[in-house]
Amino acid sequence: MIRLSTAAADFEAGFSALLNQARETTETVDRAVTAIVADVRARGDAALIAYTARFDRLTLTADRLRIGAAEIEAAVASVPADQLAALDVAARRIEAFHKAQLPADLKMTDAEGMTLGMRWTALDSVGLYVPGGKAAYPSSVLMNALPARAAGVGRVAMCVPTPDGILNPLVLAAARRAGVSEIYRIGGAQAVAAMAYGTGSLAAVDRIVGPGNAYVAEAKRQVFGRVGIDNIAGPSEVVVVADAGSDPRRVAVDLLAQAEHDEAAQSILIADDAAFAEAVIAAVASEMVSLSRAAIAQASWDAHGAAIVVREWGEAVGLIDRLAPEHLQLMGAGPEALFGQVRHAGAIFLGAYCPEAVGDYVGGPNHVLPTGRTARFASGLSVFDFLKRTTWISGDQAALRRIGPAAVTLAEAEGLGAHARSVAMRL
């Protein structure tokens, strides 16, 4: 990890290097994904069966691509009661927050007598991609499916790979709790292609959401336009802002909570005291040894971790906005003052008793957030990702007479005679 101080003469060079770190995968998969997408479009279920055998070592027939209701119920029955109860706590909070986001339709009549409006309607269908293996997170099922349900989406189809035929019971339990019953045991670029174009067993959807590996990300990129997508997610990241009155151990564990995601994750401390920053760095080393994912966390911390010491908190605001982090924790005294000044962050957690991990599970707001500094222009997943806006206009002849001549003038200026005539013949 690196140490930076705004008091140092070379700070700007060091901070720019931190901003420009390459954490995304360098794996080139576009040609392979193009071939997979084309194959699924051409051969449908047969291609899905072949790729599942090749990549997941699982032999299927077309009638077993979809996970049956009895299989789902059997898997859910194996989940411990305390885990089901925890899922329910998370689901209730996520549902409540996202239902509160639902917007109202707009209708207004202007001074010229034209009535203008905007109507919100839900998408017809959504496809949810859920990673398998070590990255199978039931919490992500809730975070992706429940906003779609809150928005009023009628059909949510879920694809999850099952390497060697192994199902994750808690993932299926989360799907059932979120109201998803259409679940397919397919993954990778082939699952994205199937959801985008449809096959004999899986009907196409209108939007695809959910994280995945480099192949999934590239497939989402390639099918965009045919369907909508949420985003191209990158490695996770957190910025923790803490003053000398904070507990170094708590700060250290909060940094490690991001580092343990994967080797490309990034954890950054911003502090106003050099001795405190060193105490946090020491606590990171101390806490690291007892983590079950210590090797992953250590690789992340070594390659991408940073501690930045600022002279005053006004400097911190500028650095935060340049980092535009996925997650931002404000742990110092009076976090509201900094909160009011920060413009760019995916989600913000205020105070010593609101760690980012709360937001991952039971906070309520979505944990699907913009990464890689895209919080400068993007937002986290919400009900708005599953709604679309339709504007409408209504007016009588008197209203058209008031605004129509300007339309005729502009149409003629653009050389569009039929446009001009369409309005003029009604005046």
Check whether 25 has a pLDDT greater than 80: no
Which of 352, 348, 317, 318 minimizes the C-alpha distance to 333? Answer: 352
Q: What's the rounded Cα separation, in Å, for the pair 267 and 269?
A: 7
Q: How confident is the model at residue 133 (pLDDT cuts 50, 70, 90)?
A: low
Report how far apart, in Å, the C-alpha atoms of 92 and of each of 4, 89, 358 are: 42, 5, 14
Residue 62 forms part of a structural domain = yes
Residue 335 forms part of a structural domain = yes
Residue 390 forms part of a structural domain = no
Token pair 């989600």 is found at: 347
Q: Which of 211, 229, 247 is the last residue of a domain?
A: 229
Burial class from Cβ neighbours inside 10 Å (0-12, 13-18, 19+) for residue 111 reads exposed
Q: Which of 349, 364, 379 is the last residue of a domain?
A: 364
Q: Which of 179, 214, 229 is the last residue of a domain?
A: 229
Residue 401 forms part of a structural domain = yes
Residues 342 and 418 in one domain: no
Residues 84 and 64 in one domain: yes
The H or E element containing residue 316 is helix 313-323
b/e burial code for range 22-55 (CB count within 10 A of at least 16 → b): ebeeeeebeeebeebbebbbeebbebbbebbeeb
pLDDT tens digits along 26-74: 568 899 999 999 999 999 999 999 999 999 999 999 999 999 999 999 9
Residues 92 and 167 in one domain: yes
Residues 331 and 247 in one domain: yes
pLDDT at 134: 54
Residues 210 and 252 in one domain: no
Residue 237 C-beta-side C-alpha neighbours within 13 Å: 30
Residues 203 and 339 in one domain: no
* Beta strands across the sheet bearing 115-122: 106-109, 115-122, 387-394
pLDDT tens digits along 105-116: 999 999 999 999
pLDDT above 70 coverage of the chain, percent: 99
Q: What's the rounded Cα separation, in Å, for the pair 159 and 139?
A: 15
Token pair 């909070």 is found at: 93
Residue 191 forms part of a structural domain = yes
Residues 204 and 348 in one domain: no
Mean pLDDT of the chain: 95
pLDDT tens digits along 242-287: 999 999 999 999 999 999 998 999 999 999 999 999 999 999 999 9
- DSSP-derived secondary structure letter, 380: -
Residue 45 forms part of a structural domain = yes
Which of 340, 375, 137 minimizes the C-alpha distance to 239? Answer: 375
Mutual orientation of helices 138-151 and 169-177 as an angle, nearest 10°? Answer: 20
Residue 373 forms part of a structural domain = no
Residue 234 C-beta-side C-alpha neighbours within 13 Å: 20
Residues 62 and 163 in one domain: yes
| Total domain count, the chain | 3
Residues 223 and 244 in one domain: no
pLDDT at 137: 87
φ, ψ of residue 355 in degrees (nearest 5)? -70, 155
Mean pLDDT to the nearest integer, 374-400:
97
Q: Supply the CATH number for residue 240's domain.
A: 3.40.50.1980
Residues 135 and 202 in one domain: yes
Catalytic residues: 326-327
Residues 42 and 109 in one domain: yes
Residue 385 forms part of a structural domain = no
Residues 204 and 252 in one domain: no
Q: Give the range of the structural domain holding residue 113, as residue numbers without chain letter.
A: 30-229
Higher pLDDT, 213 or 226: 226
